[in-house]
Amino acid sequence: MSLYQLTSHALLDLIKSRQVGARDAYIAVQERIKAVDPKVKAYVRMATVQPDFTGALPVPIAIKDNLCTKQEEITCSSRILKGFRSPYDAGVIERVKQSGGTILGIVNMDEFAFGSSCETSCYGPTFNPWNLQCVPGGSSGGSAASVAADEAMWALGSDTGGSIRQPAAFCGIVGLKPTYGRVSRYGLIAFASSLDQIGPLTKDVHDCALLMNIISGYDERDSTSVNEPVPDYTKALVNDVKGLRIGIPKEAFVDGLDPEVRKSVEDALELYKKLGATIKEVSLPHTPYAVATYYIVATAEASSNLARFDGVRFGARKQPTQVRKNALVDMYEETRSQGFGDEAKRRIMLGTYALSSGYYDAYYLRGQKVRTLIKNDLDEVFKDCDCVLTPTSPTVAFKVGEKVSDPLSMYLSDIYTIPANLAGIPAISIPCGFSKSGLPIGMQLMGKAFDEEMLLRVSYTYEQNTEWHLKKPNL
């Protein structure tokens, strides 16, 4: 097996036993990037600062293009931020560097994390390593594709409505959205501040636990960071689910769910039963309202957050060829009309409308009330269940270009992942099968707030009794 194919924990074992050096692994992954990234197009730029390979966990990592990384250009894959170089490191980047992590480069994403396919980037789309005619999912499509294609040992992404878990499912890897407040958002360029969370995308559950150990913890610079003790997540890697209660929402298995996805998830449930878990049907009655609620709350917050990108303080500035109103207003209009892509404009307009006078109560305020009902549904279920299991996505990866002209269809691909963000709870996607066409299928587990350990235990048990995570795309 080549070094670039290793999991992070396998690489660390080899480094610890001095069978290989950290520099060897870094070079191997760089060579892999040169060989396959012209097809996959996961990376938008390589790191300019070279690592020193002296840290305790010198694992090559890919960074999503919305995490501020000192001395690197960070653009959220948008024309409006072209040329912006961060003067500081995000909290998670500091932690990665302190652990000895070696940053390979910056990977592609949907512009400002607006998308479920990694097609709205100003750099063009990223392609799914399992089928280069298909999308890798989004918005952390570059992160997921880089790990699936062995172009990174692991990666960091962000998840606002499924942007870690859905691409993890499409690319056949593990993706975890931590509890809101568990991982610092300091230095994450915001989409929707009450929903965004940074998390790991990895080759297996063990790696997920290791990366969670690195990035979790309180950060006083993030007002939403929660000062809770951080456990050693690797201690949750126990191959045992005997006596655990897994809730299955009856609302999850409805029309629109791909039969192959349904079959793979049902097979996973049967395995959990054989392993000693109790499977219990539950109800999340407000789930049908999750997508609508999300696209009111998230777009409203996006409209507010993206108001700062105006060509004045940072990023690109476009001067009008002639003055139409006044020089400042004309510059704003020209910068924003040229700088933002179609999906960004769509969400800014939706959010601005939802927050406007006369509509705030009818849309944004009502959306927040329904959000509370969705959270209450989950809280009620967790009184009798240790975790909740659903598909991660209703379908496998779709073709590039298939849904670009149909935003509503694209939005519905996050139907299973959105509730966890609205409720602020942790959720993980793990591989659970393949379609007849050879595309990965993922299942999602949701847990109680700050109970990532339970999700890792249940996921690890499934992984140890299956081989889906060992399969590799043929590039």
Catalytically annotated residue among 77, 117, 140, 163: 163
* 139 given a catalytic annotation: yes
Q: What are phi and psi of 57, to 5 degrees?
A: -130, 70
Classify 158 as helix, strand or coil. strand
Rg for the chain, CA atoms, rounded: 21
* 163 given a catalytic annotation: yes
Q: How many CB atoms lie within 10 A of CB 70?
A: 16
CB 214 within 8 A of CB 95: yes
* 8 given a catalytic annotation: no
Amino acid identity for residue 205 in this structure: V
CB 416 within 8 A of CB 393: yes
CB 151 within 8 A of CB 32: yes
| Burial 376-411, CB ≥16 within 10 A → b, else e | ebbeebbeebbbbbbbbbbbbbbebebbbeebeebb
Catalytically annotated residue among 86, 99, 116, 139: 139
Q: How many CB atoms lie within 10 A of CB 112?
A: 31
Kind of pairing between the strands at 154-159 and 60-64: parallel
Residue 53 — left, alpha, or beta (φ > 0 → left; ψ -120 to 50 → alpha)?
left
Q: How far apart are CA 207 and CA 7, in angstroms?
A: 7
Element (H, E) at 8: helix 8-16
Please state the length of the chain: 475
Catalytically annotated residue among 64, 97, 318, 448: 64
Known catalytic residues are 64, 139, 163
